[in-house]
Structure formats: C-alpha cells, structure tokens
Structure 1
C-alpha cells in the first residue's frame, strides 16, 4: 500500500479522537459554567448574558483562548453574587484568572481548585464569606503568582504546603480567623513582594526566615497575638515600603538604624504593641515615609526625628506613649514639621510633652485636618497660627495648662467639627465668632476659668451633638438660643457655674438629648412643662439650684430616663409616684425639706392636708414648740458636755456616713448579736477586718458585722472610705450597709465595725473553690453555667452603676470573688468598699493620699503596680479577671500561670484552640448531670448539647479577655461588656 495512504489511514482516527476531545473539553467548560451559575443568586442580573443564545466565551466575565475556545478567565468582581462556589470550577482546566472578589460567596473553598495545576496564575476570592480551611492542595497550582483570600471567615492554620508555590508574588490572607503560627517555611517563597496576614488569630513569634524574602515590599502582620521581638533579619528587607505589626504583643525596641536599613518605607505601623525605648531618629533618612503610626506603645524620651526631611509625611500618630519628659524643649520637635506641607493629621496626645506650642510655624501644612495635643503638660497661650489652619476639622488641646483667652478669630476655622479646650487654665469670655463654626459637632470648654455671659451666637451651632461648658465661672442667665440647638443628642452640661434666672422653656427643642446637667448653679423658678418633649433624656441633673414649686408629675412620662437628681433645691409638696419615681436607686430628691410622700425608701413624711384655720393654728403651735424644744436642746447639750467633761464618760456614736441608716447600733448590741463575737458566728477574715454573723433581737434581723482591725495600718482610712462610698450608693447589686459603729469596747479600746445585710449564700469565692469549714471538713460547691452568667451580669451592673449612674465616679479598686456576696436567690452583690475611690474635684486630695492601696494581687490592674492612678479602667480589668475565673475555675494566682502565661492568655488559648479545654470541669459535670436528669431514661447527646452551649461560653470568654487587656486603652467599656454578656445568656437560654 502507498505510504501516503497508510499515513492518512493512520492519522484519520487520531484526528477524529482529537476533535472529539476538543468538543468534549468545550462541553466540559460549558457545563462547569452552568453549574457555577446554578449555585448562585444573582440579584443584580450580572449573569443575564449567560444563556444559550450566545456562546459562553462571550458571556459576562468570561474569556477564552482563540485556538480551542477553552475558558481562561472568569472575572466577576463586585457583582452582588450570593451562593456557594461549585466544585465544578476545578473542571476549567485552562483557567488562568479567577476573580470573584467583593461578592457574597459562602461555604468552603472547594479543594477542586487544586485541579487547575498547570494553568491558574491569579486567584482572588477576597471580601466574601468563605469559611473552612485553606485548601492544602492549592500547592499543586505551581504557576500561581497572586493569591488573595482576604476579608473572609477562613479558619485553621496556614497550610505548610502553600510554601511550595515558588512563583507566588502576592499572598494576602488578612482579616480572617486563621490560627496557629506563621510557618517558618514561608521564607521559601523568595518571589513574594506582598505578604499580608494581619487581623487573624495567629500566635507565636515572627519567624526569622521572613528575612530571606529579599523582594518583599509589603509586610503586614498586625492585629494578631504575635509575641517576642522584631527579628533582626527584618531590617535586611531593604525593599520594604510597608511594615505593620500593629496590635500585637511584640516587645523590645526598634533598631536605632531602622530608617537607614529600610530607606524605602512609606508606611510604618507599630502601634498598640509593647515596644519601648526611643523612637529611632534615623527615621529622618526614610524620606519616603507617608504614615508613621507609633501610638499606644511604651516609647519614651524626646522625639529627635528631623521631620523636615520627610516631605511626603501625611499622618503622624504618636499618642499614648511616655514621650517628652521634663524640660520646656520636649515639644520643640514640632518646629521640624514647619515645612511638612502634606501633613494631614498630627496626634501626640496622652504623652509627657512640656513647654509651649511654637509661636510661629512658618509653612505648617494648610492641609492638616486633625491636630491633637491633649493630655500633656503644655503651657502658654494658644498660638495665633492655629486659626490659620483653615482645613482643621479636629482640634484637641484639652487636659493641658494653656492659659490666656480663646483666640477671638477662632471662627475662621469654618471646617471645625470637634473642638476640645477643656481642663486648662483659660480665662476671659467665649468669643462670639465661635458661632460661625456651623459644622461643629462637639464643643468642650469645661473645667477652665472662663467667665461672663455665654454668647447667644452659640445657638447658630446647629450641628452640635455635645456641648460642655461645666466647671467655669459663667454667669447671668443661660441663653435660650442654646436650648434651640435641636441637633444636641448626646450631652448638654452647664453644671458648676453661676448661671441664674429661670430654666428656659425652649428646652422642648432638645428632643434627641440624652444627658442634661444644670446642677450647681443658681437657677430658680419651676421646671418648665416643655421638658416633657425631651423624650430621649436618660440623665437629668438639676441638683444644687434654687428650683421651686412641686416636682412635676410629667417627669414620669420620660420613659427613657435612667437617672434623675433633683436634690438640694426648694421643691415642695408631694413626691410623685410611678415611672422613675418608683425606683429609689436612680432618683435623688434629698435636701428638699418641704417634700412629703413618695415611695417608702425615700423616707419622707406622709403628706397631710389641713383646713386653712387648722393649718394656721398648727403653724403657730409648731413655731412655739420649736422655740421651746430648741432652747431645751441647747440647755441639755451644755449640761451633757459639762457632765461628760467632769466624768470623762466614753460615748458611742454613729459615723456621719450612716446617720440616715435605719439601725442605730452600739458595741453592746453588736456584742450581744454575735454572742460575744463567738467563733461559731465567724464567717471569714480579710485584710482589714473579721466578719461575723449576728442576729438583732430588737429588729428580728440577721446581719453581717465586719469588725475592723483598728491596730492595722490603713484600717481607719479603709473604714472612712467604705462609709463615704456606701453612704452615697444604692443599687440592687451592691451590699447594703445598715450601720457603722465607732465606739469603745468593754475594755475601753477603740472599736469600729460596719454592719450589712446578711446574705445567706456567702461569697462567690466559696462557690468557685473548695474550702475548709469550721469543723475542719473540706466543702466543695458548684455553680451551673447559667448561674455563673447571671452572677457575671449582676457584678457588671454594679460596676456600671458605680461608673455611670452615681453623681460622682466611684472606683471600687478590689473587685474579686471574695467581695461578691450571694443572697438567697443567688443574686450577686458587690461589697467591701474599703479601698474605694470617689473620683471628683473635691476628692483629688483624698485620692492622692490613698495611692498605697491598690487592690489584690492578680485582680488589680497592671498599671496600679506601676504607680498609675486609679480609674474606671482598673475596675474593668478586675471584672475581666473575675469573669475568667467564673469560666475557668482558676484563680489568677494559680500555679499553672508561670512565665508569660496568665489568666488572660489562658482564655485566649481557649478561643484560639478549643474553649472547652479551659472551662471549669465543675461546669461540665453540672450541665451534663442536669441534661441527664431532664432526659430521664433517654440517651443524652452530650456533644450536641455542648456544641450549642459553646457559643455562649466563647462569647463570655471574649468579653472577659476584652475587659482584662493589659493596656487600659484596649479594655472594653462596661456598657459593651453588659450587652455582650446578656447576648451570651440569651444564647444559652435558647439551647
């Protein structure tokens, strides 16, 4: 046979087979695309072109090669697609580019993507809702050069196999829930230019191998629980333009030559770390820097960076350090910013800078929008160049020692939105030009020495949400224009001034206002009925004025009102009942001697109605009797004092803090109530006193008596502190003090005791940990998960009351299980205010005199050990530790906490790995016993039960961790903690 014919016969089948495969492969791509579409919701109709009327290669987002019409690109970013990514995507064997970013894909990332081994180069699934783990077999896609799974909910570890992708240039895994450590083998990806894993749950050290990534330009490791120091090898990455380790536990110092070794840096973010030492002055050499974020660290010393070389600098964040120090020149570095014409934000607040702001700043940026120097030690006048920065939207000069007056031309800053000058030494009047700042949201001029009449022009500030003029010397009447600022939604505070006149009826315009404080002025007249329109009011304080007339009943209609203080005015008549007036814990009407009625807890006399003639006669009789009684009392007092002086008879007294108490108790009465302070009535012993149980026959009441160890140092101060604190406090979750006795005992020795309600279930300490009772037997009690959550919420409510609902801030300083007592219904009550601080202007001297008393080791905030001032954040820390103890059953001083491990980190380990491994075994035992009991003879699926309850435990643990962060600024606020604890309990109750 002819060779050519033979060749043709042999090749025809091969051609047929090839053509058939091409056809089948095309169909495979077609079917894969249809499967992709069928798994999705397409509300924006982005896939409307995906139909049989046109070839799939020209469908929206699809591209094919010309030769075989095989799909090479599927790009549908930001199309509003919702659904799962079908595994059939792995059948697009020629796919080079897959971009599904900025949609709502959910479920796992299919492992079939690993089938695209010889084609896939670009994979972008960022900003979706994918969960599960990163598919390890992606390592087969050896041509991948860009991989982004950022902004999803991926968990698990970074697969070791990913380091086989030798061609990978960009790896972005940020904003997920990835755990574990950064693989040391990451150093094998020598082509990487971008490595971003910030905002995950990564732990461990930064691997030294990252220093081998010589092409790296962007390194983002922030917002993880990384610890250790910055590896020196990082400084070898001379191509870096972005370096971020913000919000980690990285400690140590930065290399002094950082700016020389990383000369191309544009963004340096080491904020919210534990870095300390000096800011490297070599940053002057990194002339491309645009953003420097070094806030909330522990940097110290003077700032010696010459910023004049950083022409591109836009953002400089140095707040929350200990920069500056003594000497008036510590603020002089600002002079080098004179030529920073691109500077947009300067924030150096909360440091230790001294001196005056420069009087001249030359070409200081006219683009700057935020200038913050608050919480320093700056003195002198507010410089005139401030008012030339027309672009300013935020100007924070508060908590310094600025003097002089507010610049008259402050109205030039027409873009200003936030303006704080509070807590300085400013004097003079408020310039009327301030009324031209029509965009202003917050104006705080409180705690200065400003005086005179408040200008009517403030009424022009129709964007204000916060206005605070408190603690100044303003006089005359309050301009009615202020009460016409309908935008005021957060706070209007005019307290502690010398305002007179009447309460303007224009208050009706403040329908969105949450807090109104007019206390400590000389405002007279009646409360205007128009306040009824302020339906959003939560806090209203009109105390220490000269208000007259009856207390209006319409205040009952303000359903959102949480705190009402009308004390020390001249109100008369009957106290209303209903609404807020039925809760004695949130109202104060004391100091109004002509009031009557109201609920029993207010202790006012009953209102009596008299006929006119009877009333006149009664007045005459009362005046006569009062005169007689007054004279008699004077003679009796003089006689008593004379007799006492002669006989030197000891007296027993009730401390001033308890004069309004229901019980008047002597040493003899307490001695009898405890059967001579018998050991059988012994309840416990603390640092300052011994606690006994007692029974008062005369009152038929059980009590708890804390007898102070008067010989111990600090006890008298503790006694005074507790009297002072508890006399001001009333809340269902605080221990109620019944009396305070200061006297001599039968041996004429000093005797001091505090008397409380007896709470039969004792302290939380004895419910969490076993103890030896008076018989020498070991006692172990247990609490269910729900009981622990209820206790946590009770204590949180007590802290919220102390921080946000008291007339003055009260810091407990010693929140711990032994100071939490449980009543018969297992409601928790916070007690032992022996270390409490009442933080107000009047108590500054008292506060500073008590700096030696900081709380209990393990529960006291870390900053207290470094000499920091007491603050509400300290109580938040203690609450967080108490919550962790409720969850884990471990004290913060447990022997397992050695080295760097503490209760907070122990909780984080549970969140990152398996929260059930840190849960108190007693919780597991009780919950499983209860489940078994409720299921009777049925088989109990314990795993399913804990799967549901685990969510509540995780949320409670997260609250505890957020409260017990080492840095005070990182801690949660109490309202957020309460909301999340209540959510955790709600989840538990749904199980």
Structure 2
C-alpha cells in the first residue's frame, strides 16, 4: 500500500512538472510573438527616431526593453508607454498582436497615417492614448470591440468624418477625449449609453445640429467640453440633468435663446462655466450667484442684456469674470452698481466688462476691489466722470483698460503706486490736465496709450525710467514743450507716437539710440531746426512721419534705413536736392516731400517711378521726374563740341532734312488726331449724360454744390488720391450728410474712360457690401473745363490697407488698432460675397479688375464695402463699358493676375487671383510687393512653403497678440484653413483656381466653426 501511494505521489509530481514545462514553452512562444510585433512596430518608426528604441533587440530580454511593461505571471507585454518621444512614421498593424496589452500610450509623437483597424483585436485594452499626432482618416469601428476601454484619448490629430454609431458599445468608458480633430456630423444617439462617462471633450471639431437629449443619462459627467463646433439650438436641456458637472464649455457655437432662471440652482457644483461666443440673450440668471465654488465665469460675445446682477458679490471664490462684448447696461446711472458688490470677491483676478452699454460715473468703490486683481477692463462703454483717485490701491494691477469712454478729469497721481502695471489704456476719452510725472515710477510699463484726449503740459522726463516701454502713444493731445532727452534712454521703444500736439524745439540728436524703433510719428507739431542725422541709426525703422513741422536744412543721410517703407516730410521748410539714395531704397513704398523748398532734379527710379507712391507738389524749383508730374525739364549742361559739330556737318544737314519732313508729317497727324479726340470727347460726354439720366442715382448735383460741400475742394478735406482721381470729404445738403466726393482728373489719359466704366458698372448692381453711389456730376467748372465726379456714401473707418498696415497710415489723426482674426475673416467674407455677386448673380456679370486693400472700405462696424470700379469690365459681351475701358487690364502690381501681364482678357479668374493675394496679405501682414519677395519667392509661395509647420511664424504678429492666447480658439488651425483658401484662389494657372462661390462657402464655414460673435464699433485713435 505504501509503495502504491509513493508511486502515485511521484506520478503526480511528474505530471505537474510536465504541465509547467508545457506552460513555460507556450509562454515562450507567445512571448516571441510579442517580440516580433514590437520589432515590426519599430521598423515602421522614422529611422532617425529609432535610437529611442535601441534596447528593442534580441540580445535583451523582452521585459527589460525600455518603455515596455510585462505581466508577472505570463511575462507578456501588458503596457507600452511611448508618450512624448516625438516618434515619427506610422503605427504598424502588428500592434494588434500584443494580445495581453492593457495600456497603450502613443501620445505626443508625430505618427501619421491612419489608426490601424487591428487595434480592435486588443480585447484586454483599458487605456488608449494616441493624442497629439498627425493621424488622419476615420475612427475605425473595430476600435469599439475593445469593450473594456476606460480611457480613450485621440485629441489633436486630423481624424475626420463622423462619430461611429458603435461608440455607445463602450459602456465602461469614463474618459473620452476627441478634441482638435476634423470630426463632423451629428452626435450619435448612442452617446447616451456611455453612462460611466465622467470626462468628454469634443472641442475644435465640426459637429453640427443639436446635442441629443439622450445625454441626460450621463449623470456622472464632471467635465463637458463642446466648444468651437457648429452646434445649434437652445442651451442643451439634457445638461441640466448633469448635476455633478464642475467644468462646462460650449464656447464658439450657435446656441441661442435664454438660460433658465434656475440655472444656478441646478448646476451647483460648477467650478468653470464657459458660454462665450454664442447668441444667448435675455437677462443673466441671478441664481448663478448660488454656485458657491464658481471660479471662472466667461460669457463674452453674446447678446445678454439687462443689468449685471449685484448678487454676483456672493461668488466668494470667483477669480475671473468675463462679461465683455454683450449689451449689459442701459447707459444710465446705476449700471455700475455691481462693482460695489464685487468688493466682497476677494479672490478676483480678472474683471472684463468692456464693450457693453454701461453708463454712469465710475464709482469710488472700484478702488476697493480685490488686491488680487491683475486685469481690469472697462473700455468701450459710456462711462463718464473722473477716475477715482484711490485706484492706486489695486497694487497688483498689471493691465488697466478704460479706453473709448467719456471720462473727464486728469490721471490720478496714485497711478504711480501701481509698480507692476504693464499696460495702461486711457485713449479716446475726454481727459485733461498734465501727465503725472510719477508715471515714471511704473518701471515695468510696456504699453502707455493716452492718445485722443486733451492732455496738456510737458511730456514728463521721468518716463525715461520706463526702460521696458514698447509703445508710447500720446498723440492728438495738447502737449507742449520740448521732447525730453530722457525718452531717448528707452531703448526698448518700438512705437513712439507724439503727433498732433504743440511740441517745440529741436528734435533730440540721441534719437539714434532707439535701435528697435519701428514707428516714429511726430507730425503736426512745432519742431524746428535740422532733422538729426542720427535718425539713420534707427535701423529697425519702417515708418517715419515728420510732416507738418518747421524743420529746415537738407534731408539727412538715412540710407541705412533699409526697411523704411513710409516717409513723410511734407509741410516743412526743408531745402536742397532730393538725395539720390532715395531712388535706391528698395523698401520705400510711399514718400511725401510736398510743400517744402526742394530744388533740382526729381529722380525717376524706385519709389519715383509711380506718381501714386510719392508727392513733390509745392516745391517750385523742382524739375524733371516722370512725365505725369508735368514739371519743367531740367537744364542740360552745354558741352562745347565745335570740332565734333564741324566733322559731322554733313550728318547734320541730312538730319535737318529728315527732321523737317518728320515735323511736317507729325503736324498733319496731330491735326487729324485732334479732330478725332474732340469728336470722341463729345460722344463720350453725351453717353455719360445718358447713363446718368437712365440710372437709379439720386437727383443730379451741380459743380457749385460739390464745391460748397467740400469747402472749395480744400486740401484739408482731401482723404485720398489715385491715378485718375482725388477723393474729398464733403457735407451735402441741409442735413450735412457726410459723403465722399471722387473728382476725376480729366487731364490724365484714361480718366474719362474710368469715369464711364464706373458709372456703367455701378448703375445696375445692388449689394450690401458694395460702396453706395449717392449721385454723380457731369458738368463744367467755373473755368469752363469739363468736370466729372461721383459721390459715394462716406466710410468712417477708411480703407482696409490702412488697417492692415497701420504703421503706414499717413494721417496721424487716424491710426487704427490691429484687426482681430475674427474681424479679418469677416472682412474677407464681405469681399468674397461681393465678387460672387458681380461674377454670377447680377444681370451682366462683371470683373472688378483692380481688387486690393485700398479699394476695400470699412464702415462704422468694420463691415467691408468694395469700391473703385474704374477698371471694371462687363463679361461675356461686347458692351458700352468695353468701349470706354482702356485696352487690356492694368490692375495693380502684385495683385493683378499673371495672365493679364500676357494680354489675357478680364475674367472672373483674374479677380480670384487678386482676392487670393488679398486674403494672404490680410493674415500674413505683408504686401505682395514686400522686399522679402524677390526672385521666385512670392507671397503665395512663401505661405505655401511654411504652412504645414510654421503657420504662426508667418502670421501677422498683431493677430497673435490678439487671439492666440485665447485657449478657446485654435488659432493655428483656423489660419491654416484660411491660408489654404488664399493659396487655392491665387494659383498660377487660372484653371486651377477655385470659384468665388467655393471660396465664399469655405470662409463662411470657417467663421461658423471658429467664431460666432457680433461686430462692435471701433473708435479710431491717432
């Protein structure tokens, strides 16, 4: 018996060992499968990045490979963490063979291609992270076979198409992050099956329609991020059922309607609430003040009305309150009473109620707000009265904006206590008094903007202590005295704007120390003496405005300013010759030397080649130049060459004979030409009168009425000039209606044709984004000369060119602030809608033929209006306009389509090219004629080459300063898509260009996706 038991026991041990050996052998085989899968994966990684996977080889045990985790029992791969290694290449389908994998992290790399469908074989997978790559295509439906998934992160890729219906099968999912992709369509109803979901992010996509009601089952949701899509409808009612929410963002959609009055009684656990950039209206629920843990409330750019609730004072944990760009207030006393309640919010850091309708005086208790306050924005309202003296108590304030209001009084001296202040905006008010010297105590100041007020006295020398100052703008005031030498110590200065004051004395010679100065605007003061030669040391200078002073002497040597674009010396007492080097300054785009005492020859090269780019009028001793100037010829040096004349006597006799015959023939030809031109002029005038009488213009107006309306066409009313015309601001009729009067210079060849073209083009078209023609005049002036003028609706915000290149604005009275990304996109849409209309929707299709920023005018709310149809052509027929337009299309260099330069006919495609260039210029901030673009490098090729990886590097920095910091806007993605439209419009070949209807549709889609905001009026400064 004992022997039997002994044999049986040993047999069991043997069987157990055999089973263990078999299991080890199986494990070894499966481990080899994992090795092969990972080595195949490695082979698909970019070669230059495989060094990070160097340990993946047969000489090292699998479970000791770096970034690999194995299970304890079977020694199989259960975790793979390659996050942040910046690996490139594609994700190999072999990943699906890691059958024991529970966690896969490929985030923050550069993997391209698609998500392999084999990932769906990983049935044990619980965590999957493929975020921050460049993956494309659809989310494979096989992925939803991974039923144990708890966290799925696919953020920041290029995934497209819709969300699969199978999404609802992931019943264990707690975290789903799909933001910053190109996913479109509607939310599947099955989303409501994810009842374990706690965090869901779908921001920066193209989702549309309403949020399904089935999500009311997601009662465990704590973070819901749906911002920047195309979602619509009222505030999603299902969200009211998510009582556990602590983060909610639906910014930048098309939601509308009112919020429920009991909003704050339902979502009581909210910590952050982002509702901005929608169309919510009505009163803001007072119950929001019951959300005791609320730290951030951002509802900007909506249509909310009524008062800002005083009950907000009970939000003791609030840190950021963004209520700007709504319609809060009624311009009444009491609109600012909520500020007294906010005194209780001791953690408040940012308060923005700018650009509403808040009226009344700024209350004293604004100085009692939280000591934690770093940003206070009250600009763009109707606030009156003075700034409370004790505002200096806000000792941690870094940014204060009270611009564009009705403030009076002076700058409180307590500002000197705000030692950390970096930005002070008080422009466009009614303030007066002196600039306090103790502003020089604010040594961290970077931006001081005081223009368009009534400040007087001296510019404090103490401002020289502000060594970090970038922008000093004190123009359009009543400042006097000399320009302090101490300002020349601010070597960080980029913009110095002191124009339209009463400053006197000599300009400081130390100006050359400001090496970073890009703009110097000192026009319309009382500076005298010589212009310092040290200006030539300001090597970063791009705009230099010194007109309207009493400078004398000669123009100094500034040829080292290789980036100078705009130079204004008009209305001084300068003398001498125009320096020859100016003709060689390739960057110079505009030069105004008018009304001085210059003499000698006007150059004919560089900026002097085109009369639209320079002014020299009012200098009686100048000669030569291009023919358009009509200056007297310069005297030639008489060369004594008697010997040469004697030896060439025969040639002279022959020349005289031939010359005499030529003169005779020329006289006969001129006589015939005169008769033809006289007849043509008469016919043209008759046709013009016929056009005007048959058109839908208002009642015709006389020359005398226009002369009176413009103060005898006074230069003070001149607001622009072109090749064929000058434009004056006028006040018409008993109502003094403000108009723009375009007076044709009929002495210039082609001006009459331009007049006829514009009349014909505008008489039969109507569009809200076309400049409105009020009336016209075809008459004679007091001297008996022909007079023709067109009267347009006045556009108070000037042309787009001055906004895109504000540093080049030639009038220091109106120096616009930078256009936002959303505003530029709206303007592009306005222009595209006009072109689409004249190309395809009006009775006679028209090509504009001269689209450029200076021909796009902006009204009060920055709506764009296309103007100047002087080169327009009716398409698809030989009509009246073709008879009166010049042969061929000139357009403007840089904007004209390349086929026009080879004799191509006017076309829709030509306008598309110009539009594409305009779009690129709007967002790059560089003209197509910028000095950067030489040889084969054009604005288009420049954008195309940098688009994929350096889109922010090529973007106008003023856009980036404005909106790149807004975390709710994917600026880079938006810019890429806008640039794509511009590039496709200005393809070299006309047949490759997209249609204007396609361009318009894409831009409108972009606007809906990234922005949903109303416009607001901008009060221009100097």
TM-score (norm 2): 0.67
State the alpha-carbon separation in 1 of the partners of residues 158 and 995 from structure 2. 16
State the alpha-carbon separation in 2 of the partners of residues 741 and 400 from structure 1. 27
User: Which residue does 1:678 correspond to in 2?
Assistant: 687
Which whole-Å deviations, capped at 9, do the CAs of 1:940-959 have from their partners, x for residues lacking one?
xxxxxx7xx67999889766
- Are 2:350 and 1:348 aligned? no
Alignment of 1:367-378 (within 5 A): 367-378=372-383
- Are 2:562 and 1:571 aligned? no
Determine if contact 1:443/1:467 at 8 Å carries over to the other structure. Answer: yes
Which whole-Å deviations, capped at 9, do the CAs of 1:524-560 have from their partners, x for residues lacking one?
01111000111222221111111112233x3444232
Determine if contact 2:242/2:267 at 8 Å carries over to the other structure. Answer: yes
Determine if contact 2:555/2:578 at 8 Å carries over to the other structure. Answer: yes
User: Which residue does 2:80 correspond to in 1?
Assistant: 74
State the alpha-carbon separation in 2 of the partners of residues 582 and 95 from structure 1. 64
Q: 2:701 aligns with which of 703, 710, 715?
A: 710
User: Which residue does 2:553 correspond to in 1?
Assistant: 549
User: Which residue does 1:166 correspond to in 2?
Assistant: 171
State the alpha-carbon separation in 2 of the partners of residues 193 and 711 from structure 1. 74
Q: 1:470 aligns with which of 462, 475, 482?
A: 475
Q: 1:412 aligns with which of 417, 423, 427?
A: 417
Determine if contact 2:78/2:103 at 8 Å carries over to the other structure. Answer: yes
> Residues 524 and 279 (structure 1 numbering): CA distance in 2 closer, same or farther, change over 3 Å?
same
User: Which residue does 1:202 correspond to in 2?
Assistant: 207
SS at match of 1:500: strand
State the alpha-carbon separation in 2 of the partners of residues 85 and 854 from structure 1. 48
Determine if contact 1:887/1:957 at 8 Å carries over to the other structure. Answer: no
State the alpha-carbon separation in 2 of the partners of residues 74 and 255 from structure 1. 47
- Are 2:122 and 1:116 aligned? yes
Question: What is the CA distance between 1:317 and its match in structure 2?
Answer: 0.7
- Are 2:364 and 1:359 aligned? yes
User: Which residue does 1:391 correspond to in 2?
Assistant: 396
User: Which residue does 2:850 correspond to in 1?
Assistant: 828
State the alpha-carbon separation in 2 of the partners of residues 883 and 339 from structure 1. 62
State the alpha-carbon separation in 2 of the partners of residues 765 and 23 from structure 1. 87
SS at match of 1:106: coil
Question: What is the CA distance between 1:435 and its match in structure 2?
Answer: 1.4
Question: What is the CA distance between 1:674 and its match in structure 2?
Answer: 3.0
Determine if contact 1:731/1:801 at 8 Å carries over to the other structure. Answer: no
Which segment is superposed worse, 347-356 or 382-391? 382-391
Q: 2:158 aligns with which of 153, 160, 164?
A: 153
State the alpha-carbon separation in 2 of the partners of residues 883 and 359 from structure 1. 61
State the alpha-carbon separation in 1 of the partners of residues 38 and 131 from structure 2. 20
Higher relative contact order (CA 8 A, sep 6+): 2
Question: What is the CA distance between 1:102 and its match in structure 2?
Answer: 2.1
Determine if contact 1:438/1:463 at 8 Å carries over to the other structure. Answer: yes
Determine if contact 1:508/1:530 at 8 Å carries over to the other structure. Answer: yes
User: Which residue does 2:899 correspond to in 1?
Assistant: none
State the alpha-carbon separation in 2 of the partners of residues 233 and 558 from structure 1. 63
Question: What is the CA distance between 1:276 and its match in structure 2?
Answer: 1.5
State the alpha-carbon separation in 2 of the partners of residues 57 and 306 from structure 1. 61
SS at match of 2:160: coil
> Residues 123 and 720 (structure 1 numbering): CA distance in 2 closer, same or farther, change over 3 Å?
farther
Question: What is the CA distance between 1:427 and its match in structure 2?
Answer: 2.6
Which whole-Å deviations, capped at 9, do the CAs of 1:302-321 have from their partners, x for residues lacking one?
01152232222111111111
Which whole-Å deviations, capped at 9, do the CAs of 1:346-367 have from their partners, x for residues lacking one?
1111111122333236863222
Q: 1:586 aligns with which of 583, 590, 596?
A: 590
> Residues 582 and 185 (structure 1 numbering): CA distance in 2 closer, same or farther, change over 3 Å?
closer
Question: What is the CA distance between 1:339 and its match in structure 2?
Answer: 2.1
Question: What is the CA distance between 1:680 and its match in structure 2?
Answer: 11
User: Which residue does 2:753 correspond to in 1?
Assistant: 758
Gaps of 5+ in 1: 610-667, 690-707, 743-750, 772-794, 840-846, 860-881, 890-910, 932-945, 973-991
State the alpha-carbon separation in 2 of the partners of residues 798 and 307 from structure 1. 42
State the alpha-carbon separation in 2 of the partners of residues 385 and 740 from structure 1. 44
Which whole-Å deviations, capped at 9, do the CAs of 1:400-457 have from their partners, x for residues lacking one?
2333332223222221111112222333222222212222110112222222222211
> Residues 409 and 883 (structure 1 numbering): CA distance in 2 closer, same or farther, change over 3 Å?
farther
SS at match of 2:480: strand
State the alpha-carbon separation in 1 of the partners of residues 360 and 247 from structure 2. 34
Q: 1:530 aligns with which of 534, 545, 551?
A: 534
State the alpha-carbon separation in 2 of the partners of residues 549 and 752 from structure 1. 36
SS at match of 2:305: strand
State the alpha-carbon separation in 2 of the partners of residues 252 and 238 from structure 1. 21
Alignment of 1:189-268 (within 5 A): 189-268=194-273
Which whole-Å deviations, capped at 9, do the CAs of 1:593-627 have from their partners, x for residues lacking one?
55564257435545489xxxxxxxxxxxxxxxxxx
State the alpha-carbon separation in 1 of the partners of residues 470 and 688 from structure 2. 60
Question: What is the CA distance between 1:332 and its match in structure 2?
Answer: 0.9
User: Which residue does 1:517 correspond to in 2?
Assistant: 521
Question: What is the CA distance between 1:581 and its match in structure 2?
Answer: 8.1
Determine if contact 1:569/1:591 at 8 Å carries over to the other structure. Answer: yes
Question: What is the CA distance between 1:763 and its match in structure 2?
Answer: 7.4
State the alpha-carbon separation in 1 of the partners of residues 68 and 44 from structure 2. 17
> Residues 736 and 676 (structure 1 numbering): CA distance in 2 closer, same or farther, change over 3 Å?
closer
> Residues 757 and 150 (structure 1 numbering): CA distance in 2 closer, same or farther, change over 3 Å?
farther
Determine if contact 1:721/1:836 at 8 Å carries over to the other structure. Answer: no
User: Which residue does 2:436 correspond to in 1?
Assistant: 431
State the alpha-carbon separation in 2 of the partners of residues 739 and 318 from structure 1. 41
State the alpha-carbon separation in 2 of the partners of residues 400 and 165 from structure 1. 55
Determine if contact 1:470/1:494 at 8 Å carries over to the other structure. Answer: yes
Which whole-Å deviations, capped at 9, do the CAs of 1:102-130 have from their partners, x for residues lacking one?
2222222221110012x011111222222
User: Which residue does 2:656 correspond to in 1?
Assistant: none
Gaps of 5+ in 2: 605-610, 625-676, 732-740, 767-798, 817-826, 870-907, 916-972
Q: 2:486 aligns with which of 481, 500, 525?
A: 481
TM-score (norm 1): 0.68
SS at match of 1:35: helix
RMSD over aligned CA atoms reads 5.1
SS at match of 1:306: helix
Alignment of 1:521-670 (within 5 A): 521-552=525-556, 554-577=557-580, 578-579=582-583, 586-592=590-596, 597-599=601-603, 601=611, 602-603=616-617, 604-607=619-622
SS at match of 2:185: coil
SS at match of 1:308: helix
Which whole-Å deviations, capped at 9, do the CAs of 1:759-785 have from their partners, x for residues lacking one?
599679989x999xxxxxxxxxxxxxx
State the alpha-carbon separation in 1 of the partners of residues 316 and 296 from structure 2. 12
Which segment is superposed worse, 198-207 or 376-385? 376-385
Q: 1:103 aligns with which of 101, 109, 120?
A: 109
State the alpha-carbon separation in 2 of the partners of residues 436 and 752 from structure 1. 51
Alignment of 1:903-918 (within 5 A): none
Q: 2:70 aligns with which of 44, 49, 64?
A: 64
Question: What is the CA distance between 1:223 and its match in structure 2?
Answer: 0.9
Determine if contact 1:214/1:237 at 8 Å carries over to the other structure. Answer: yes
Determine if contact 2:367/2:394 at 8 Å carries over to the other structure. Answer: no
Which segment is superposed worse, 797-806 or 65-74? 797-806
State the alpha-carbon separation in 2 of the partners of residues 536 and 336 from structure 1. 49
Determine if contact 1:496/1:520 at 8 Å carries over to the other structure. Answer: yes
Question: What is the CA distance between 1:683 and its match in structure 2?
Answer: 10
SS at match of 1:143: coil
State the alpha-carbon separation in 2 of the partners of residues 854 and 154 from structure 1. 35
Question: What is the CA distance between 1:727 and its match in structure 2?
Answer: 4.7
Determine if contact 1:465/1:488 at 8 Å carries over to the other structure. Answer: yes
Question: What is the CA distance between 1:389 and its match in structure 2?
Answer: 2.1
Question: What is the CA distance between 1:888 and its match in structure 2?
Answer: 15
> Residues 68 and 540 (structure 1 numbering): CA distance in 2 closer, same or farther, change over 3 Å?
same
Which whole-Å deviations, capped at 9, do the CAs of 1:831-886 have from their partners, x for residues lacking one?
999x978x9xxxxxxx99xx9x99699x9xxxxxxxxxxxxxxxxxxxxxx99995
Which whole-Å deviations, capped at 9, do the CAs of 1:84-113 have from their partners, x for residues lacking one?
222111111111111222222222222111
State the alpha-carbon separation in 1 of the partners of residues 23 and 289 from structure 2. 66
User: Which residue does 1:421 correspond to in 2?
Assistant: 426
